[in-house]
Amino acid sequence: MKKLLLLVTVLLPFFHEITGSLKIFLNNALYENKTSLTISDPAIIRCEVADNTENETLIWYRGTLEVNISSENSVNVSTVCIPELTVEDNGVSFTCLLKSNTSIKRSLQLDVQFNPRLSGDTQIRAEEGKTVQISCGFKANPAASMFWRQNNSLFTLPANYKQDLTMDTLQLTIEKVTKKDTANYTCVALLPNGNETTRVFELIVGDRQVGLPIEAIAAAVVVGALMIAFGMFARREKIFNMCMKGRHDTAM
Asked if 118 contacts 199 with a C-beta cutoff of 8 angstroms, the reply is yes
R_g (Cα) of the chain, nearest Å: 38
Q: Does residue 96 lie within any of the structural domains?
A: yes
Asked if 94 contacts 110 with a C-beta cutoff of 8 angstroms, the reply is yes
If asked whether residues 132 and 95 sit together in one domain, one would say no
Q: Does residue 230 lie within any of the structural domains?
A: no
- Residue 44's nearest CA partner among 65, 27, 62, 25 is 27
Number of folded domains in the chain?
A: 2
- Residue 119's nearest CA partner among 170, 183, 191 is 170
Q: In this predicted structure, what is the pLDDT of residue 5?
A: 35
If asked whether residues 16 and 58 sit together in one domain, one would say yes
Q: In this predicted structure, what is the pLDDT of residue 213?
A: 56
- How far is Cα 36 from Cα 112, in angstroms, rounded to an integer? 6
Does the model's pTM come out above 0.75?
no
If asked whether residues 41 and 108 sit together in one domain, one would say yes
Q: In this predicted structure, what is the pLDDT of residue 166?
A: 97
Q: Does residue 172 lie within any of the structural domains?
A: yes
If asked whether residues 136 and 108 sit together in one domain, one would say no
If asked whether residues 88 and 135 sit together in one domain, one would say no
If asked whether residues 56 and 153 sit together in one domain, one would say no
If asked whether residues 138 and 81 sit together in one domain, one would say no
If asked whether residues 133 and 63 sit together in one domain, one would say no
Q: In this predicted structure, what is the pLDDT of residue 16?
A: 40
Q: In this predicted structure, what is the pLDDT of residue 200?
A: 98
Q: In this predicted structure, what is the pLDDT of residue 28?
A: 80
DSSP sequence for 46-80: EEEEES-SS--BEEEEETTEEE---GGGSBSEEEE
Q: In this predicted structure, what is the pLDDT of residue 26?
A: 79
Q: In this predicted structure, what is the pLDDT of residue 23?
A: 87
Q: Does residue 229 lie within any of the structural domains?
A: no
Q: In this predicted structure, what is the pLDDT of residue 22?
A: 87
- CATH number at 197 reads 2.60.40.10
Q: In this predicted structure, what is the pLDDT of residue 222?
A: 61
If asked whether residues 48 and 108 sit together in one domain, one would say yes
Domain end (from 183, 206, 229): 206
If asked whether residues 72 and 139 sit together in one domain, one would say no
Q: Does residue 140 lie within any of the structural domains?
A: yes
- How far is Cα 92 from Cα 81, in angstroms, rounded to an integer? 14
If asked whether residues 166 and 200 sit together in one domain, one would say yes
pLDDT in tens, the chain (252 residues): 444 333 333 333 333 444 558 888 878 888 766 678 999 999 999 999 998 889 999 999 999 999 999 999 999 999 999 999 999 999 999 999 999 999 999 999 999 999 999 999 999 999 999 999 999 999 999 999 999 999 999 999 999 999 999 999 999 999 999 999 999 999 999 999 999 999 999 999 999 876 655 565 566 666 566 666 556 555 555 544 555 555 555 444
Domain end (from 92, 114, 136): 114
Q: Does residue 218 lie within any of the structural domains?
A: no
**What is the domain extent for residue 32?**
2-114
Q: Does residue 43 lie within any of the structural domains?
A: yes
Domain end (from 79, 114, 149): 114
If asked whether residues 13 and 100 sit together in one domain, one would say yes
Q: In this predicted structure, what is the pLDDT of residue 2?
A: 41
